[in-house]
Structure 1
Amino acid sequence: MSDVASSYGLWFFAALNAAIFILFAFSFFKPQTSRDWRSFGAFSAFLVALFSEMYGFPLTIYLLSGWLQTNYPGVDWFAHDSGHLPEMIFGWQANPHFGPFHLLSFALIGGGFWMISAAWPVLYRAQRKGELATTGLYARVRHPQYTGFVLVLTGFLVQWPTLLTLAMYPLLIWMYARLARTEERETRERFGTVFEDYARHVPAFFPALRSEPQQAH
């Protein structure tokens, strides 16, 4: 078994990676309201928990070490690359950074950040004009930024699952769904039938393959 201290305990890298991704998301999301800060804060907490285990202390590996070593005796579970649990468990023999789960995670993370960044200017312009955002990604899904956050969280979870992030994930999904319902209630009160018509044609979280163009009001 390799020296655990050489693979983990890298708290500088844990803090650096968490800061990079949090600032990257902040540059796209630009939280303004207390609701925005709550959703962004929960997203940030997930990243801190993730990178703390990825580089700092492998709590999940320690807790599952008995089961992992019994069922997968050929794997050094305290080597850093072994934290990519899906690749290890499914027997990926090459570098896990090029494994199918890791590549899938990159696609999900990239797609999520793209949705967040593409949705923000549309929402910002609509808010400046006092209109309902119905163009761009908002013509396909009513909450593209929340969908983007969920894609990013899912991507990180696929890449490096931990017990803590697995526990946080459904709570974050519930929180985003609740925030979305609150936003829609307020938007419905403000825009009335305009929003009702928009909501009938555009799904909440999963983009429609086809949707009728929505006109801004």
Structure 2
Amino acid sequence: MDHTIPAYGLWGLVVLNSLVFILFAFSFFRPRSGRDWRTFGTFAAFIVALFVEMYGVPLTLFLLAGWLQGRYPQLDPLSHDAGHLWSTLFGLSGNPHFSLLHIFSNILIFGGFLLLASAWRVLYRAQRQGQLAQSGPYARIRHPQYVAFVLIMAGFLLQWPTLLTLLMFPVLVVMYVRLARREEQSTRDAFGAEWEAYRQRVPTFFPRLSRASGSVAR
């Protein structure tokens, strides 16, 4: 096992990567209310926890080192590649950065940020005009920004799973669902019948495969 090139303790990369992704998300989400800040803050905590283990201290690998060495004796459990745990567990060979799993995770991350950016432009314009956001991604699902955050986190979990982020993910999903429900209450109060017609027409989180499909997805 060759540890001459440090795989961890790279705190500059922890700070740099955390700032890049958090600021990029902030530039499109632009939190205003307390609810917005809670949504963004939990996402930021997930990102920091991820990069601390990816480049700082690999707590998950430390905890699993004995099991990994016993099951995969050829694997250096403290190498950077070992952090791509799904590749190891699924028996994927080659550089994990070029595996189909890693490529798919990048698609989820990029798609999530693209959805976040697109949704923010529509929402910002609607809020300035005092209207209900119904165009762009809001024409397909009622909460594209929350869906975007979940897609980004899911992409990172496929790329670099850790015990902490795996525990955080379902908690954050439930939190976003509850925030979406509360948001719908205030939107219903503000837009009344217009909101009710929109709710009947557009699914909550999962877009219909066809606009002509029947019941609204919940």
TM-score (norm 2): 0.94
Q: CA deviation at 1:209?
A: 2.4
Cα distance between partner residues in 1 of 2:41 and 2:64: 29
Which blocks of at least 5 consecutive residues in structure 1 are unaligned?
Answer: 213-217
Cα distance between partner residues in 1 of 2:142 and 2:35: 17
- Pair 1:101 & 2:87 matched: no
- Pair 1:41 & 2:41 matched: yes
Cα distance between partner residues in 2 of 1:147 and 1:68: 34
Provide Cα deviations, 1:61-86, integer angstroms capped at 9, x if missing partner: 01011111111111111111110011
Cα distance between partner residues in 2 of 1:152 and 1:77: 26
- Pair 1:190 & 2:190 matched: yes
> Which gives a bigger RCO, structure 1 or 2 (Cα 8 Å, sep 6+)?
1
Contact 1:109–1:156 (CA<8 Å) still a contact in 2? yes
CA RMSD of aligned residues (A): 1.3
| Structure 1 counterpart of 2:82 | 82
| Structure 1 counterpart of 2:32 | 32
Cα distance between partner residues in 2 of 1:2 and 1:32: 48
Q: CA deviation at 1:32?
A: 1.2
- Pair 1:143 & 2:143 matched: yes
Cα distance between partner residues in 1 of 2:122 and 2:4: 47
| Structure 2 counterpart of 1:215 | none
Report the 3-state secondary structure (helix = DSSP H, G, I; strand = E; otherwise coil) of the residue aligned with 1:203.
coil
**Amino acid corresponding to residue 2 of structure 1 in structure 2:** D
Contact 1:106–1:155 (CA<8 Å) still a contact in 2? yes
| Structure 1 counterpart of 2:215 | none
Which blocks of at least 5 consecutive residues in structure 2 are unaligned?
Answer: 213-218
Cα distance between partner residues in 1 of 2:89 and 2:170: 23
Provide Cα deviations, 1:80-121, integer angstroms capped at 9, x if missing partner: 111001112222221110012111110100110011000111
Provide Cα deviations, 1:111-140, integer angstroms capped at 9, x if missing partner: 100110001111111111111111111000
Report the 3-state secondary structure (helix = DSSP H, G, I; strand = E; otherwise coil) of the residue aligned with 1:48.
helix
| Structure 1 counterpart of 2:15 | 15
Q: Which is further off, 4-13 or 161-170?
A: 4-13
Cα distance between partner residues in 2 of 1:124 and 1:208: 25
Cα distance between partner residues in 2 of 1:50 and 1:5: 21
**Amino acid corresponding to residue 139 of structure 1 in structure 2:** A
Report the 3-state secondary structure (helix = DSSP H, G, I; strand = E; otherwise coil) of the residue aligned with 2:6.
helix
Cα distance between partner residues in 1 of 2:138 and 2:85: 36
Q: CA deviation at 1:3?
A: 2.5
| Structure 1 counterpart of 2:202 | 202
| Structure 2 counterpart of 1:126 | 126
- Pair 1:60 & 2:60 matched: yes
- Pair 1:50 & 2:53 matched: no
Equivalenced residue count is 212
Cα distance between partner residues in 2 of 1:51 and 1:132: 37
TM-score (norm 1): 0.94
Cα distance between partner residues in 1 of 2:24 and 2:124: 18
Report the 3-state secondary structure (helix = DSSP H, G, I; strand = E; otherwise coil) of the residue aligned with 1:6.
coil
After the TM superposition, which segments of 4 or more aligned residues of structure 1 sit over 4 Å from their partners? none
Provide Cα deviations, 1:134-156, integer angstroms capped at 9, x if missing partner: 11110000000100000000000
Cα distance between partner residues in 1 of 2:129 and 2:44: 30
Cα distance between partner residues in 1 of 2:68 and 2:79: 13
